[in-house]
């Protein structure tokens, strides 16, 4: 499992290399999708160099459109899309949908638990050194993230 939005434009190519791989694309409110890299950029994150907010929006749009338009039908069958906000508004339904799609049993997983309680906590000391780190990292999913 990889959580790195900058890989999204590569998903169709990854599918060619790993045709059995499943892809879950979480779509965020575009305002949040642009704000996050802008804030990270101000802290020194290199991903978007000195791009303006409009350029970041174009880059994100291009990344997602590459997955939405024109990929092979087999890629579409191996890909599922979900709004990030559904983790807040209807987590049980989203988890069931992900279980059916991935074949992974998520019984007992509560997206509102903090990662440490769920036993998948990231290394917070290492995370804290990253420019993209913010106060919400390592915390339970909440409406503060939306």
**Residue 27 maps to a domain:** yes
Global pTM reads 0.69
Q: In sequence order, which residues have a C-beta less than 8 Å from that of residue 138 and are 6 or more positions away? A: 114, 115, 116, 121, 122, 124, 127
Name the pLDDT band for 3 (thresholds 50, 70, 90).
low
Q: What is the dihedral of CA 100, 136, 59, 23, to 10 degrees?
A: -20
**Residue 62 maps to a domain:** yes
**Residue 118 maps to a domain:** no
For the chain, what is the domain count? 1
Q: What is the residue-wise DSSP string for 22-82?
A: -EEEEEPPHHHHHHHHHHHHHTT-STTTT--HHHHHHHHHHHHHHHHSS--HHHHHTEEEE
| 20 compared with 116, residue with greater pLDDT | 20
Q: Domain holding 31: CATH number?
A: 3.40.50.300
Q: In sequence order, which residues have a C-beta less than 8 Å from that of residue 107 and are 6 or more positions away? A: none
Residue 103 belongs to what domain range?
5-109
pLDDT at 131 over 60: no
**Residue 123 maps to a domain:** no
Tokens of 72: 């092979």
| 54 compared with 2, residue with greater pLDDT | 54
**Residue 79 maps to a domain:** yes
- For CA atoms 126, 63, 49, 33, give the dihedral sign: negative
Q: What is the pLDDT of residue 100?
A: 94
> Taking the CB of residue 106, how many other CB atoms lie within 10 A of it?
13
Contact (Cβ atoms closer than 8 angstroms) between residue 146 and residue 85: yes
Q: What is the pLDDT of residue 51?
A: 84
**Residue 125 maps to a domain:** no
Q: What is the pLDDT of residue 96?
A: 92
Q: What is the pLDDT of residue 103?
A: 92
Q: What is the pLDDT of residue 80?
A: 92
Q: What is the pLDDT of residue 20?
A: 93
- If 0-12 CB within 10 Å is exposed, 13-18 middle and 19+ buried, where does residue 84 land? middle
**Residue 128 maps to a domain:** no
**Residue 48 maps to a domain:** yes
pLDDT at 18 over 90: yes
Mean pLDDT, range 79-103, rounded to an integer: 88
């Amino acid at each position: 499992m990889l959580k790195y939005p900058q890989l999204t434009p590569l998903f169709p190519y990854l599918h060619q290399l790993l045709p059995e791989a499943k892809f879950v694309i979480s779509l965020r409110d575009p305002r949040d999708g642009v704000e996050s890299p802008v804030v990270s950029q101000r802290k020194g994150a290199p991903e978007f160099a000195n791009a303006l907010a409009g350029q970041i929006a174009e880059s994100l749009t291009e990344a997602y459109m590459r997955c939405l338009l024109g990929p092979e039908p087999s890629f579409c069958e191996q890909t599922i899309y979900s709004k990030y906000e559904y983790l807040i508004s209807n987590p049980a339904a989203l988890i069931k949908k992900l279980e059916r799609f991935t074949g992974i049993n998520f019984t007992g997983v509560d997206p509102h638990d903090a990662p440490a309680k769920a036993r998948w906590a990231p290394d917070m000391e290492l995370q804290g050194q990253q420019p993209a780190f913010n106060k919400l990292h390592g915390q339970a999913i909440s409406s503060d993230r939306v």
